[in-house]
Amino acid sequence: MSQTLHTVAVIGGGTMGAGIVEVAASAGHAVRLYDISAEAITRAIDGIAERLNARVSRGKISTEQAQALLARITPATELTQLADAQLVIEAASERLEIKKALFSELAEICPPSTLLTSNTSSISITAIAAGIKHPERVAGLHFFNPAPVMKLVEVVSGLATSTEVVEQLCQCVTAWGKQPVRCRSTPGFIVNRVARPYYAEAWRALEEQVASAEVIDAALRDGGGFPMGPLALTDLIGQDVNFAVTSSVFNAFWQDRRFLPSLLQQELALAGRLGKKNGHGVYRWPLENQPELALDAVSAERAAKRVKSDVVTELDDVLLLETTGETALSLSVQHQRPVVVYDHAAGDTVVLAGAPTNPDSATDKAVYYFQQQGKKVLRIADYPGLLVWRTVAMLANEALDAVQKGVASAEDIDTAMRLGVNYPRGPLAWGQSLGWGRVLRLLENLQQHYGEERYRPSALLRQKALMEMRDE
């Protein structure tokens, strides 16, 4: 338990609030749980007790430990009961006016030394702190669901947040067995900002009828090494929730095309096809074949360390090329011969596409070539950048943009993406291993193909590509 933060108060008895209460109580803190609804408090504590009993039955903790943990949790029906807390974590409604009113009242009730934090995933910490007493003690503590399990906590600084407060919060989070990452209060913080292309590129592929949802998910899961395909993941999160986060980030960035929401996802949300929680989204739930966990990060790293230069393979008259963001048709016209392009693969699954002008035998040769190496082959329509390469490139580009704008350090961004959304590698480490010059070329080709700002390379990517060229 932190030596200075003896008592922790949590506002909000929902899923996240209850999870944070369990985390703090597990670390030995006395915890006050406040909610405007007494029933919500009861449900939250009953839920914690149920989870603890399950751990007792599995032999993870003793009955005495479970009882001691529950004894450290005290219901609070008035905000004034939180006055003795050294740390307050708000996990209430995601509405700025509600948070501002709460924090303004807390600033009057609690002494200036009390740290006031919000678990918000999307609202500006600067805006929450504006106009209250001692805004330097206001920060974000963004946990990930389920809070008792997920290791990552984003420690978010608003414009007025002091460095001493950030350091104290990071020490507290570490003492709780979590991994803190520091970031500035910008839309989406780290994870919800950098992760947007993972969903967006999959929705675009589905909208353009490049492949079925199952094939798109298999490509990213089995070919890219991600733990779950993006479309299945949006079903798991909830189409309404995922679409709302994307829309929030899009609007917060003044409708920047990089964060453009999907019309197809909007249709699902409007139709009430929300995913797993109501049985129908992109898929019917429960899934007949649950998504398999992809290869581990070590395997993904090993696969990503392939040569950074172009690899050209000739199969009789067929040219086999790893994608650089051009369509197979464009390359076929350039080379005046059949062309098949294939995707970056971090596992035993390879995605490929042939030029529509290819004879069937040409693409069949490429399929056979990979099958002879023991690879599973997924064929999709001719699509620039295919599925894995363009997704990884977009993730790396977004991460670089966040670094350049001072949102967080490169190390914290990679840590956040590995622990917050279980990516096999941090996007910056992944981009470096693939080669910044190749990432740049792929995005430039995508930008030329679509004529859209969505694929514009960041200035830091251009710099890194030039430095890489100098060092070769």
- Using alpha carbons, list the distances in angstroms from residue 129 to 126, 311, 365, 378, 384: 5, 53, 62, 50, 45
- Specify the 3-state DSSP secondary structure of 73: strand
Residues 262, 256: Cα–Cα separation, whole Å: 14
Residue 284's DSSP bridge partners are: 280
Half-sphere CA count of 166, side-chain side, radius 13 A: 16
Known catalytic residue: 119?
Answer: no
Q: Which of 142, 322, 326, 445 is catalytic?
A: 142
Catalytic residue, from 2, 26, 29, 154: name it: 154
Respond yes or no: is residue 57 known to be catalytic.
no
For residue 251, give both structure tokens: 């609007």
In the residue annotation, 121 being an active-site residue is answered as yes
By the 10 Å C-beta count (0-12 exposed, 13-18 middle, 19+ buried), 310 is classed as exposed
What is the CA angle 5-179-138, rounded to 5?
45
Which of 26, 124, 192, 332 is catalytic? The answer is 192
Phi-psi region of 254 (alpha: psi -120 to 50; beta: other; left: phi over 0): left
358 catalytic per annotation: no
**The amino acid at 86:** Q
| Bridge partners, residue 153, by sequence | 143, 180
Catalytic position from the list 119, 121, 332, 445: 121
Residue 208's CB is within 10 A of a number of other CB atoms, namely 10
Which one, of 73, 45, 42, 49, lies nearest residue 63 by Cα? Answer: 49
Considering all CA atoms of the chain, what is the largest pairwise distance in Å, rounded to the nearest integer? 79
- 96 vs 127: CA distance, rounded Å: 8
Rounded Cα distance between 139 and 118, Å, is 7
Catalytic residue numbers read 121, 142, 154, 192
